[in-house]
Amino acid sequence: MHDDLARTLRRRSLSGATPLYTGLFGLGSLMGLVALAKNGGSDLGVFFAPFTVFAGSAVSLLLDRRGRPHPARALFTGVNLLYVGSIMTIAPPLIRVSIGFPLTALVLFLFHLLYPARHAARVGWTTLALVLAGTAQLLLTTPGEWMMLTACVVQVLVIGFANLVLERLGRGWTDALATTDEARRQLASAYRVAMEASEAKSNFLASMSHELRTPLNAIIGYAELVEEDVEAGDLPAADDLGRIQTSGRHLLQLVNQVLDLSRVESGRMELELASLDLAEVVAEVADTLRGQVEARGTRLVLELEPVPTLRLDRLRVKQIVTNLVANATKFTDEGTITISLQQAPDEVCIRVHDTGVGIPPDRQKRIFEPFLQADGTVSRTHGGTGLGLAISRGLAEQMHGKLDVASQPGEGSTFSLCFPLPA
């Protein structure tokens, strides 16, 4: 009977678990009990009840889908009396031993002391059934009355304590594994972020040095040509002076971008808010950049709807729209750039749509980060420092607006600059 019981328990206890470690914590020993049985006030005799007990608790740690221990979770199969045998008693058959209160109450009480409340009743009832099934030979009967030796109580205490220790150790172990694993993931994530930031700054310095050297070299070169013309008695060439002026303005624009980013990130950007006609600003930007756009074989289309005036900084809104159109021009050859002005129920939006190369979804977030572009080849092919969109989003947010992008590779991009309508 005991072997069948053990096999049944083992199958039920370990089914459904994905074991990382499965083992039996066993207490195997020859235990003895000496008890003084009394009947009324008379000593009826001393008896010795040796028995062999193997009490085991099977432990299985649950694994998640990646093969790691599930955080702070362990499956303990409970206290299982796997084998009880070699039981004999030399006590006289009619000795009565009374424990004074029902065995059921005693077992459940002990398990309420040893286990959390949510487990006590379940484990207690299970163990009670096993004790009764496995120690029947320790129970002495007289007609209509159950008698039990104290050995059952000893078994319950020993097994309960062993399982309690296992549960605490297992829970602490899985907690430690989960904590260590989480710390390792956080460290790896922080390392990746640091490496990306380092790479971004290196790329920025490389591209910025190129962007700064180009106009500086032009200024120096054309200034030397003018100097040579003057020394030769020739009048300075107007073209050379024009190139010097253009290069100087480009250099000033680069310096201003760095200063703007610093002000935006520190929150020290000063805004001059006034009632602004957005259609007028968009038209000005289109007139300024139309020649640059059409020089690449690209059409520039305006779709302007009547919208309310808003309190915004004219210079900064114009700066944002100019940057968006200039970016669209870089990435659109012989296509179309459309600037639209539309009113939604609770906001006004300026949208710049192009039919250019588009941006992969996994790179759309990084284009708004300082010093970053869609990838390293962009700055080498199209130029730029990677600051324009970061500055533009920062300016939009300081005016309580937002700047977002929707794009598909090969289908173009749409940048939306939206400002809320006044309540």
Q: What are the beta bridge partners of residue 59?
A: 23, 76
DSSP 8-state secondary structure symbol assigned to residue 137: G
- Which CATH fold would you assign to the domain 197-266? Helix Hairpins (1.10.287)
Give, rounded to a whole angstrom, the gap between the first and last alpha carbons of the chain: 81
Q: What are the beta bridge partners of residue 142?
A: 145
CATH of the domain spanning 273-420, picked from 3.90.550.10, 3.30.70.360, 3.30.565.10, 3.30.1360.30: 3.30.565.10
| Contact (CB, 8 A) for 57 and 160 | no
Query: What contacts 24+ positions apart, CB below 8 Å, involve 211-216?
Result: 211/254, 211/383, 211/384, 211/385, 212/251, 212/254, 214/247, 214/250, 215/247, 215/248, 215/250, 215/251, 215/254, 216/247, 216/251
Buried b (16+ CB within 10 A) or exposed e, 140-152: beeeeeebbbebb
Q: Which of 401, 304, 416, 396 is nearest to 354 (CA)?
A: 416
Q: What are the beta bridge partners of residue 39?
A: 42
Q: Range with the lowest mean pLDDT among 23-32, 58-67, 142-151, 213-222?
A: 23-32
| Contact (CB, 8 A) for 350 and 278 | yes
Q: Which of the two residues, 337 and 26, has the higher pLDDT score?
A: 337
Strands 402-408 and 75-76: unpaired
Write out pLDDT tens, residues 80-108: 222 233 233 333 333 333 333 334 444 44
CB atoms within 10 A of CB 118: 7
User: What's the token pair of residue 170?
Assistant: 């297992």
Which of 19-23, 375-379, 409-413 is most confident? 409-413
What does the pLDDT read at residue 221? 73
Residue 157 pLDDT greater than 90, yes or no: no
Residues 418, 423: Cα–Cα separation, whole Å: 15
What residues does each domain of the chain span?
A: 2-187, 197-266, 273-420
Write out pLDDT tens, residues 321-361: 999 999 999 999 889 999 999 999 899 999 999 999 899 98
Residues 15, 394: Cα–Cα separation, whole Å: 57
